[in-house]
Amino acid sequence: MKILDHYIGKQIVLTILMVAFALLGFDLFFHLVHELKVVGKGQYGLSVALTFLGLSIPTRLYTMFPWSALIGSLIGLGMLANHSELVVMRTAGISVLRITWAVLKAALILLIFVVLLGEGIAPITERLAQTKRTFALSGGQTIETAFGVWVRQGEEFIHIQTVRADGELQGITRYQFDNNRKLKRAIFAKSALPEKGHWRLKQVKGTEFLSQGTRVFQEETQFVPHLLEPEILQTAMVKHPERLSLLTLWRTIHHRLKNELNAENYELAFWSKVFQPVVILMMVFLAVPFVFGPLRSVSIGSKVLVGIFVAFLFHTVNSLFVPLAIVYQFPPILAVLLPIIVFSGLGFWILRRI
């Protein structure tokens, strides 16, 4: 059985890695085409674009690994089935559950690599990639820190604490100076949303510094024609909490809760990363009942299409539960676990029928 486990494991690991790097190649190509559209803006040249894509490789591999695990396992087991090797194993008295365990053991080896990639390498390289891109696009007028984004526009300095996934800005502080670099106004807005060529700021409070003294003002809504470049907004690290490490997410959640700020997006990102290894194991597990059941006699191409469909379906269901958790205020951990439970149940149901 050790020889058999090694044989099955080697087949599964090789096909998963092959699929992962193939998907990575396609992903990098399409993102390169997208980056070429903004090359030439500010200090963003081709070398910076290639550096950005190279530094983002660990994050892209980590993100697409569940897809790679399912498609690679389907291809690996499909090749064994097409060569009648699975039939021989079954004839020799080896159960489907024992073959499933051999496949999962191979996946556990890959999980060590995935966890190291997602928690050790990817957050560092991704942070560096985003910082380089933002700095180059803004011509050196924007920097990202652990506490938000700083942007200089003319004589105005803007600090944005959080960029939500839907594009809403939270905690905007604007410092406006005159030509002599003296502070004219300090304005704070609780949130801001882009609307038809301008920004709508909500719950605005500010102080204006006059020669005779200071004037405090407050407005419920304020409209600003220009606040942040779209490319900088898309790149801003704080918009993508799933790119942060678990330790950073944990600290950010506690900091935001302590200051009575919304932390739902960070909690969802935290639990998604916690259960990422479980998702990968589930995807590998799903390949077994599909190969022994509905996909027993179909071609490799059909198995790949089914793998893409199932992975896309899981991604869609998972994306559906995230906004539901925010709207209906049920625990973020439940929003992450429910799709895993549903698809795992589907796999066990097919396996029982076999």
The tens digit of pLDDT for each residue in 228-279 reads 665 555 555 455 677 778 888 888 788 777 767 677 778 888 888 889 899 9
Six token digits for residue 142:
């924007």
Q: Which is higher by pLDDT, 308 or 301?
A: 308
Alpha-carbon distance of 73 to 304, in angstroms, equals 10
Coil, strand, or helix at residue 295? coil
Alpha-carbon distance of 69 to 285, in angstroms, equals 9
CA distances from 106 to 84, 85, 118, 282 (A): 21, 18, 19, 13
CB atoms within 10 A of CB 179: 6
Alpha-carbon distance of 282 to 351, in angstroms, equals 13
- The reported pLDDT for the residue numbered 328 is 74
- The reported pLDDT for the residue numbered 209 is 87
Identity of residue 138: S
List b or e across 129-154, with b for residues whose CB sees 16 or more CB atoms inside 10 angstroms. bbbbbbbbbbeebbebeeebbebebe
Nearest of 303, 313, 298, 278 to residue 73 by alpha carbon: 303
Strand partners, 152: 157
Strand order in the sheet with 156-163: 142-145, 148-153, 156-163, 169-177, 183-195, 198-209, 214-224
Q: Is residue 156 very low, low, confident or very high in pLDDT (cuts 50, 70, 90)?
A: confident
Q: Is residue 297 very low, low, confident or very high in pLDDT (cuts 50, 70, 90)?
A: low
Alpha-carbon distance of 133 to 87, in angstroms, equals 53
Q: Where are the beta strands (DSSP E) in the chain?
A: 142-145, 148-153, 156-163, 169-177, 183-195, 198-209, 214-224
- The reported pLDDT for the residue numbered 238 is 52
CB atoms within 10 A of CB 28: 17
pTM given for the model: 0.73
- Which stretches of 37-56 are DSSP H helices? 46-55
Determine the average pLDDT of the residues in 284-303.
73
- The reported pLDDT for the residue numbered 147 is 64
Indicate if the pLDDT at residue 146 is higher than 90: no
**Rounded to 5°, angle at Cα 84 from 82 and 90:** 130
Indicate if the pLDDT at residue 7 is higher than 70: yes
- The reported pLDDT for the residue numbered 140 is 57
